[in-house]
Amino acid sequence: MNLVKHVAIIMDGNGRWGIKHKNSRNAGHRAGLNSVESIINECLKVNINHLTLYTFSTENWKRPKKEINFLFNLLENFLTNKISNLIKKDIKLKFIGEINKLPIKLKKIIRNAELRTSKNVSLQVNVALNYGSKNELINSIRKVNKKKIMINESNIDDNLFTKGIIDPDILIRTGNTQRLSNFMLWQLAYTEIFFEKKLWPDFKSNDFKKILNKFKSIKRNFGSI
Ligand code: IPE
Ligand code: IPE
Ligand code: MG
């Protein structure tokens, strides 16, 4: 039976959910936070070590400024209001992506949240924010070159945002769309992929449990027979 150590999620469909239920994309982003909390709790229950959440891509800057601001505000409020809860649950937060290019206030809140949860071990939540996989790979190869070391798998691994994090066992994309949208292209080489019809705010722990169950019985070959 396969053990799940790392689940990655492309949380897609907030906008459509918001339009459908409240005629506002931003209402969907807010509702999506409830799904985040229920999936985090489920990961804690079943002893998953890593949960990686695609929160904002390098391409999401193409969205209207109002929506971007709303998203950043939502994240700031979440981190400020929930931090003590996350600490209580022994959750470690790590941000992957170009954090330095984010607004200064958000950056500070992020660094503070990482610092305050750095000793926690029950579950590591990797928040992919201003993350783009192609950029991440280019930067990694540049760093390897600069260090004048060989371009090989482990050196590239060690210069990615995900340094030290095992590759995902499972990728889930909600929102009834089957693409990767520049997410973890290198790290997903042997990941089992589940495309889910439900929009992210409708995705709850039961849906998650079903996927974990399906995963258990998959024969993972890694090129062997
Ligand atoms: C995913 O939901 C969340 C982010 C990209 C921030 P979307 O906002 O992409 O929702 P849809 O795909 O438009 O419904
Ligand atoms: C992917 O969703 C990014 C996140 C979930 C953060 P998008 O909604 O941005 O993806 P595309 O543009 O439809 O491919
Ligand atoms: Mg989308």
The tens digit of pLDDT for each residue in 45-59 reads 999 999 999 999 999
Q: What is the pTM of this model?
A: 0.98
Cβ atoms of 40 and 91 within 8 Å: the answer is yes
**Rounded (10°) CA dihedral 106, 109, 115, 116:** -150
Q: Which ligand is nearest to the CA of 58?
A: 2
Q: Output the pLDDT for position 160.
A: 99
124, containing H or E segment: strand 123-131
In the chain, how long is the greatest CA-to-CA distance? 54
Which atom number of ligand 1 is nearest to the Cα of residue 60?
Answer: 5
Query: Can you tell me the mean pLDDT for 130-140?
Result: 98
Q: Compute the mean pLDDT over every residue in the chain, rounded to the nearest whole number.
A: 98
What's the gap in Å between 13 CA and the centre of ligand 3?
Answer: 5
31-88: pLDDT as tens digits: 999 999 999 999 999 999 999 999 999 999 999 999 999 999 999 999 999 999 999 9
Nearest alpha-carbon partner for 29 in 86, 83, 74, 80: 74
Mutation pick for ligand 2 pocket among 33, 72, 181, 184 (CB with most ligand atoms within 8 Å):
181
Catalytic residue among 12, 14, 130, 207: 12
Q: Output the pLDDT for position 34.
A: 98
Catalytic residue among 2, 34, 49, 60: 60
190 falls in which pLDDT band (50, 70, 90)? very high
Nearest alpha-carbon partner for 48 in 87, 11, 91, 88: 91
Question: Domains along the chain?
Answer: 6-132+168-216 (3.40.1180.10)
* Alpha helices for the chain (secondary structure H): 14-22, 25-45, 65-88, 104-117, 133-146, 153-157, 205-216
Q: Which residues line ligand 2 (CB under 6 A)?
A: 10-12, 54-57, 60, 177, 179, 181
What's the gap in Å between 14 CA and the centre of ligand 1?
Answer: 5
6-24: pLDDT as tens digits: 999 999 999 999 999 999 9
Percent of the chain surpassing pLDDT 70: 100
1 falls in which pLDDT band (50, 70, 90)? confident
Q: Which residues line ligand 1 (CB under 6 A)?
A: 11-16, 56, 60, 71, 175
Q: Which ligand is nearest to the CA of 181?
A: 2
160-176: pLDDT as tens digits: 999 999 999 999 999 99
Question: Is residue 12 annotated as a catalytic residue, yes or no?
Answer: yes
